[in-house]
Structure 1
Amino acid sequence: MAIKEGIRTGGRSARVQESVHAAVRALLIEQERDDLTVPMIAARAGVTPSTIYRRWGELSALLADVTLARLRPDTDPADTGSLRGDLVAWAEQYLDEMTSEPGRNMMRDFISSGCSSQCASVLRGQLQSIIVRAQARDEQTPSTDHLLNLIVSPIVYRTLFAEAPPSVEQIHGFVDLSLGR
């Protein structure tokens, strides 16, 4: 189930969200994620389980929302001075994050919760900032969807479903392919 749209972002709603997110983060430090339950999180957050179910619908959507909040970058992707360099640096970091156990769990949470479009939106924003920077340097740039299809998609697929995640050399190949090289 997707995270509920139209929830007010300020006041009590914001306090509840932060309290629940903090409870999830704290509980994940103390125990395995498979042992988490909505009543356990609600008790830690000081809310009723129905509050969590009303807002997130199910545990996987809540876990995806907590992960999405962490996924949103505080800074723009690294600026290496070229589109290829920026994409390689970004893709290597993305590979590193997604092949970690928390990264794999995050992808599973997004898939099972139906919240994957929100994750794609964050990725689009990161790639778009790389594209805008390259355009300011008068470099030819592909679309964000092109980069999602040729760089992000194979990383996600190979991380979740293949025998092994892609290698760094393969990532460089994905970037080169996306740039028509």
Structure 2
Amino acid sequence: MSRKPMVRPGGRSARVQQAVHTAVRELQAEVGRPELTVPMIAARAGVTPSTIYRRWGDLQELLSDVAVERLRPEAPPEDHGRLLDDLRSWAEQFLEEMAAPTGRAYLRDALLGDPDGDNAGRCSDYAAEQIGTVLARAVERGEDVPDVDTVIDRVVAPVMYRILFRPDGLTGAYAHRLAEEALEGFSAGR
């Protein structure tokens, strides 16, 4: 049985989650991921190891939960005034963040501690929300746009595949080309 952290809007549960997540991030920076243990994290967070085991199940599920939170975008995508420019910028930033060593580590952790696929779904939702923001802005400007799934299929999916299996050529130019191809058949402000 997989245990997932309960997400509550506040109170003790939120404080425990924040303290444990902070402890994981600090300890990863200090001692490295391979050296992390649940008792070490619990001591830093000021909770008992049983609290972590009860809430997350094991170390890998905790690391997965922390990774998913770190993959959540901190701000909406930049608005450059035209769909093509917005999508190029977003695709380049997405590629850079996911392909960086820390991004790869977060992806690995997010998926390794995720036997049910819930974290993969959360990560996908983050990308879809960002793309949705870009597309909604373009609609407000009167531009023709593809749907979110088309952009995921034409930009996100190839980026993730290349990061995982063929990491050569992960450049800004590659991201721009994917964004342009995602908009083929739409006016996209060209």
Shift of 1:165: 5.0
Q: Which residue of 2 aligns with 1:97?
A: 97
Q: Which residue of 1 aligns with 2:120?
A: 116
Q: Percent identity between the aligned chains? A: 46
Taking structure 1 as the reference length, what is the TM-score of the superposition? 0.91
Q: Which residue of 2 aligns with 1:33?
A: 33
Letter in 1 for 2:72: R
Structure-2 change in CA distance of 1:76 and 1:175 (3 Å): same
Shift of 1:64: 2.7
Match of 1:125 among 129, 154, 162: 129
Structure-2 change in CA distance of 1:158 and 1:2 (3 Å): farther
Structure-2 change in CA distance of 1:163 and 1:11 (3 Å): closer
Structure-2 change in CA distance of 1:166 and 1:29 (3 Å): same
Structure-2 change in CA distance of 1:112 and 1:161 (3 Å): same
Shift of 1:3: 6.1
Residues 88 and 180 in structure 2, CA contact (< 8 A), matched pair in contact too = no
Say what the alpha-carbon RMSD is for the aligned residues: 1.9
Residues 131 and 141 in structure 1, CA contact (< 8 A), matched pair in contact too = yes
Residues 78 and 86 in structure 1, CA contact (< 8 A), matched pair in contact too = yes
Structure 1, unaligned runs of 5 or more = none
Q: Which residue of 2 aligns with 1:55?
A: 55
Q: Which residue of 1 aligns with 2:174?
A: 170
Per-residue CA deviations over 1:20-59 (Å, capped at 9, x if unaligned) read 0110111012021122122211111111222112222232
Q: Which residue of 2 aligns with 1:4?
A: 4
- Equivalent runs, 1:62-81 vs 2, <5 Å: 62-81=62-81
Taking structure 2 as the reference length, what is the TM-score of the superposition? 0.87
